[in-house]
Amino acid sequence: MAELFKVLVVDDEPGMRSGVARILNDCCINLPEMKTDVRFTVSEAESAEQGIELIESQKPDILLLDHKLPGMTGLELLIKLTEKKIDILTVMMTAYASLETAVEATKNGAYDFLAKPFSPAELKHLMRKGSSRILYKRQARSLAEEKKKVRFEFISVLAHELKSPLAAIQGYLNIIHERILGNDLEVYDTMIERSLVRLEGMKKLIFDLLDMTRIESEQRKREFANINICEHAKKAIETSALAAKERDITINFNGPDNVAMNGDVLEIDIILNNLISNAIKYNKDNGKVDVDISSNDNFVIIKVSDTGIGMKDDEMKKLFRDFVRIKNEQTRNILGSGLGLSTVNKLVQIYEGKVSVQSEFSKGTCFTVELLKNSHQNLKEESELPANKIMAKTE
């Protein structure tokens, strides 16, 4: 891959301009850190006035600017560019390389300085630095745009997910309000029940959303402690026990009494609660859930398997994305926010682990989560998350 940067040299000395052009037109700089080569194409201007014209018409990437020019000076040109909000990497070249000019130029947005006379090597060195800077900046910008897009998508889906239950509840209330089925209150009972169920779903979505923002915002101080994950698994089983009992689902814990790891209690509980409550929600009546905890040298392994409705291959693929809910005949009456597994996935990344899923349609599903036992051993307080975290933060 090669990048071609447009360079504009503004200098009133023709010899200077052609010299720079000759050096740069022939040179190719390799930037291994950006995995690219950089080449240059040079145009020339003999005054600041002509320079501005060329900057506006050609939009160069790099400006090599003499300070002492007839008419408008180099510094004045720099100020003009700032006024016009034109962002261009500028290197000042001047024989009057005093500290004062340097400071003044940097204040006005110049990137660096070349003291005349300079050698081809000095020029190339500066061009290498400058090019790499431009490429980094571009990368950062496209990352920021990507962030914005992801955020917008997240918010529109969130809005839809919140509006759907509202529309359903409002619809029922309208029907009840207008007594469409007559004045006998009992005929509206199912509608009231359904409204309560949808409200419960909304509440769940909001709580899951809070879990997720808590993980993703750097505001929350993560507190690491040596914990026994078996204890937490048993606690999560208890939390889900009522929901399981309602549908005669049995939950078994299999594992030793103690498996130690270094982790944040809230995060570990979120992982366990999500996996276990899913195994119950997507189970069949009279089904079974097995929670297995084990460990090897470096990892704690959590395995949650159910005898539930299972999934098809294409459904499994999108499982860990935000707001993905598998929609089919079996799941249409199951409440869920579509955030649980994507949150689990994010947490697993933080623990340098992995999550995998095996499933057979209408037979059952098994989630396996591996978490590095000592992923944060050396960090008393961890506030930096890995770079691949999702950007849907509340500002």
Partner 1 sequence: MTVLKKVLVVDDDPDILDQVELVLKAGGYDVSPANSAADAEEFLNCTQPDLAIVDLMMEQADSGFILCYQIKKLYPNVPIIMLTAVRAATGLDFDGKTAEAKSWVKADCILDKPVRPEEILNTVRKLLGA
d(CA 238, CA 218): 30
| Residue 163: CB minimum distance to partner 1, A | 5
Q: Which is nearer to partner 1, 168 or 350 (CB)?
A: 168
Q: With beta carbons less than 8 A apart as the criterion, state whether 9 and 58 touch.
A: no
Q: Which is nearer to partner 1, 28 or 175 (CB)?
A: 175
d(CA 122, CA 133): 17
CB atoms within 10 A of CB 2: 9
| Residue 151: CB minimum distance to partner 1, A | 14
Q: Is 188 in the site for partner 1 (CB under 8 A)?
A: no
Among 35, 221, 332, 380, binds partner 1 (CB under 8 A): 332
DSSP 311: -
d(CA 374, CA 352): 10
Q: Is 200 in the site for partner 1 (CB under 8 A)?
A: no
Q: Which is nearer to partner 1, 160 or 312 (CB)?
A: 160
Which range in 40-48, 122-130, 165-173, 381-389 contacts partner 1 by CB under 8 A?
A: 165-173
Which range in 157-165, 243-251, 311-319, 384-392 contacts partner 1 by CB under 8 A?
A: 157-165
d(CA 385, CA 278): 26
Under rule CB under 8 A, how many of the chain's residues touch partner 1?
21
Structure tokens, 127: 């061009």
Q: Is 198 in the site for partner 1 (CB under 8 A)?
A: yes
Q: Is 168 in the site for partner 1 (CB under 8 A)?
A: yes
Pairing of strands 354-360, 299-306: unpaired
Locate tokens 């529309």: which residue?
A: 167
| Residue 193: CB minimum distance to partner 1, A | 11
Q: What are phi and psi for residue 252, nearest 5 degrees? A: -115, 140
The contacts of residue 16 (CB under 8 Å, 6+ apart) are 9, 66, 93, 116
Q: Is 144 in the site for partner 1 (CB under 8 A)?
A: no
| Residue 172: CB minimum distance to partner 1, A | 7
b/e sequence 296-332, b meaning 16+ C-beta within 10 Å: eeebbbbbbbbbbbbbeeebbeebbebbbbbeeebbe
| Residue 201: CB minimum distance to partner 1, A | 10
| Residue 105: CB minimum distance to partner 1, A | 45
Q: Which is nearer to partner 1, 331 or 358 (CB)?
A: 331
| Three-class secondary structure of residue 65 per DSSP | strand
Among 139, 142, 170, 254, binds partner 1 (CB under 8 A): 170
Q: Is 160 in the site for partner 1 (CB under 8 A)?
A: yes
Among 58, 82, 139, 174, binds partner 1 (CB under 8 A): 174
d(CA 56, CA 134): 19
Q: Is 333 in the site for partner 1 (CB under 8 A)?
A: yes
Among 28, 95, 144, 180, binds partner 1 (CB under 8 A): 180
Structure tokens, 336: 């869920």
Q: With beta carbons less than 8 A apart as the criterion, state whether 362 and 188 touch.
A: no
Residues that bind partner 1 (CB under 8 A): 156, 159-160, 163-164, 166-168, 170-172, 174-175, 178, 180-181, 194, 198, 327, 332-333
